[in-house]
Chain A
């Protein structure tokens, strides 16, 4: 597998080792048909450079809302949101994002899809010039030789790999992943999770991933932010001190199981607080 050489995305970052993402006292409400829903209530999180943080919680607890706020896709109703020390006003330059759907454009080849962010940022010529990088990325995710295929000729898992390449092609420092493999079967999903973890660590990226699977959260995370619903809030944090370079074999270890237990406990406490409060 060829190694993709990336410049350090943020040269000065070792000199000023602050949090890369800082969320403080963030609230977000939605008003629909005159009714107001509190999607996020007083949420505070920080993410350090190189960290893999997982947002875990039942559906509707505001995970996607929080991720969208970090991505600058959605403004917070109140509170502080900073990426790279700057308040988030538009879409921060440092982010790359992935969703449950691959959202590849069916009228573009895989190669053209992956180069799309380059084309948008720097034009057609730059996109053509980026083809060597596209090839490296295809190698990196095991899609060598599929560049000239059309998206609908690829399986769901392969489409998500192409989406990974598209996310990485502009070399973003922060990866925001909203249940990226949620639509895949369990085997493919496990494999993709391992690949994603390996990639993120090898390239030294920072990741925030959303899931509602406890085991997946423990497998991936350096830190799990457990959230609960109505209103969406942080119920607790679980630091996962398992060594890096994890493989699925680790899931049967007693440490792994104890982290799963811890996370489950925090989820339950959050849930009962919701019932009584």
Chain B
């Protein structure tokens, strides 16, 4: 040991560290279950989960049941994200830019934010049936909040001097919005979209749990009723990877649109 800030872990390359710790984690998992410390009904073996995951992926890529259901969940989450993005942006902009938004819409949004929205899933099923609709509505309901909040924060968080500068240039309201506030808010909007991507998938799943029809949520439910926890785990891993991929894709787009962010300079942020 030399210095606390220069610890051994800081000198190990990231891939080695993550790969190594994963191997250890899997080995412990496998060992604990094999040794009978945890019953297999509670925790499936790591090796069984791996086999189940292989089965799930093979089925997915050969266009089997997993694919038909995966496609449905993906569609729900995708549409959820799309509408969450649009609604979140518009409502966020209204709150940041208009007295009506600030005084009338905002209080309702605060109340809705505090509400446990997943509890509404059965309600949406009752309203919209067992098809795509209740799932998308659920996904939008929980996913649009971060987009709305971040958009409003980004639009309002314009540097005071930049705002004064625009005033001295006699910019009108629209010019201020499109030339100053909107570009300034973009990094925030993208941050909101990334959160929304993850939440949208969760919303779709929750609605599938209570609404039936098709989707990975249904496969998870069926497997768990049959105590096939290895299959449940395999589906969870598949969905995590999916969420990660969507998150990464949004990040990729962001780095191209918000190019000036690379240099780490944004006027509103200290």
A residues touching B (Cβ–Cβ < 8 Å)?
A: 68, 71, 73, 90-91, 93, 95-97, 99-101, 103, 105-107, 116-117, 119-121, 150-153, 170
Most buried by B among A68, A91, A100, A106: A106
Question: Which of A96, A100, A150, A170 contacts B263 (CB under 8 A)?
Answer: A150
Complex Cα spacing A153 to B259, Å: 13
Are B263 and A105 in contact (CB-based, < 8 A)? no
**Measured between alpha carbons, how far is A97 from B266 in the docked complex, in Å?**
22
A157 to B120, CA, bound (A): 57
Residues of B within 8 A of A100 (CB): 161
Contact present for B168 and A96 (CB under 8 Å): yes
Contact of A106 among B161, B167, B179, B266 (CB under 8 A): B266
Q: Are B168 and A71 in contact (CB under 8 A)?
A: yes
Main secondary structure of the interface of B (DSSP, over half): helix
Residue among A71, A103, A152, A170 making CB contact with B161, cutoff 8 Å: A103
Chain B residues within 8 Å of A97, by CB: 164-165, 168
Check B169 against A106 for contact (C-beta < 8 Å): no
A83 to B266, CA, bound (A): 35
CB-based contact B161/A101 at 8 Å: yes
26 residue pairs of the A-B complex, CB under 8 angstroms, read: A73-B164, A73-B167, A91-B168, A91-B170, A96-B168, A97-B165, A97-B168, A99-B164, A103-B161, A103-B162, A103-B165, A103-B267, A105-B162, A105-B183, A105-B267, A106-B266, A106-B267, A107-B183, A107-B258, A119-B179, A120-B171, A120-B175, A121-B169, A152-B260, A152-B263, A170-B169
B97 within 8 A of A: no
Contacts of B108 in A (CB 8 A): none
Contacts of A121 in B (CB 8 A): 169-170
B159 within 8 A of A: yes
- Do A106 and B260 contact each other (CB < 8 Å), given the known contacts A101-B161, A120-B179? yes
| Least distance between A122 CB and chain B CB atoms (Å) | 11
Q: Which chain B residues have a beta carbon within 8 Å of chain A's beta carbons?
A: 159, 161-162, 164-171, 175, 179-180, 183, 258-260, 263, 265-267
B167 lies within 8 A of A152 (CB): no
Are B164 and A105 closer than 8 Å at their CB atoms? no
Tell me which of B167, B179, B263 contacts A116 (CB under 8 A).
B179
Partner of B265, one of A101, A103, A106, A119: A106
The answer to whether A73 and B267 touch across the interface, beta carbons within 8 angstroms, is: no
CB distance from A103 to the nearest CB of B (A): 4
Which residues of A sit under 8 angstroms from B164, Cβ to Cβ? 68, 73, 97, 99
Residues of A within 8 A of B170 (CB): 90-91, 93, 120-121
Instruction: Please give, as numbers and ranges, the residues of chain A lying within 8 Å of B167 by CB-CB distance.
Output: 73, 91
CB of B39 to closest CB in A, whole Å: 58
A150 with B179: in contact, given A73-B167, A95-B168, A103-B165 (CB under 8 Å)?
no
Please indicate the chain B residues that have their CB under 8 angstroms from the CB of A117 in the complex.
169
* A101 vs B161: C-alpha distance when bound (angstroms): 7
Q: Which residue of the partner chain A has the closest CB to B180?
A: A105
A24 vs chain B, min Cβ distance (A)? 23
Instruction: Give Cα distance in the complex from A32 to B265, angstroms.
Output: 32
Q: Are A107 and B169 in contact (CB under 8 A)?
A: no
Taking the nearest CB of chain A, how far is it from the CB of B42, in angstroms?
Answer: 53
**Chain B residues near A101 (CB, 8 Å)?**
159, 161-162
The residues of A that contact B260 with a CB separation of less than 8 Å are 106-107, 150, 152
State in angstroms the CA–CA spacing of A73 and B165 once bound together: 10
Docked Cα-Cα span, A120 to B166, in Å, equals 9
- Shortest Cβ distance from A152 into chain B, in angstroms? 4
Report the minimum CB–CB distance from B255 to chain A (whole Å): 14
Taking a contact as CB atoms under 8 Å apart, the answer to whether A103 and B171 are in contact is no
Shortest CB distance B90–A (Å): 22
Whole-angstrom distance between the Cβ of B3 and the nearest chain A Cβ: 33
**A151 contacts which chain B residues (CB < 8 A)?**
265
Residues of A within 8 A of B169 (CB): 116-117, 120-121, 170
Bound-state Cα–Cα, A103 to B184, Å: 12
User: In the complex, what distance in Å separates the CA atom of A152 from the CA atom of B262?
Assistant: 10
Bound Cα distance A152, B265 (Å): 7
Bound: A153/B263 CA distance, A = 9
List of 6 A-B pairs having minimum Cβ-Cβ separation, nearest first: A106-B260, A152-B265, A97-B168, A103-B162, A152-B263, A117-B169
Closest to B257 in A: A107
Measured in the bound complex, the distance between the Cα atoms of B162 and A237 in whole Å is 32
Bound-state Cα–Cα, A96 to B170, Å: 11
Q: How far is the CB of A127 from chain B (nearest CB, A)?
A: 11
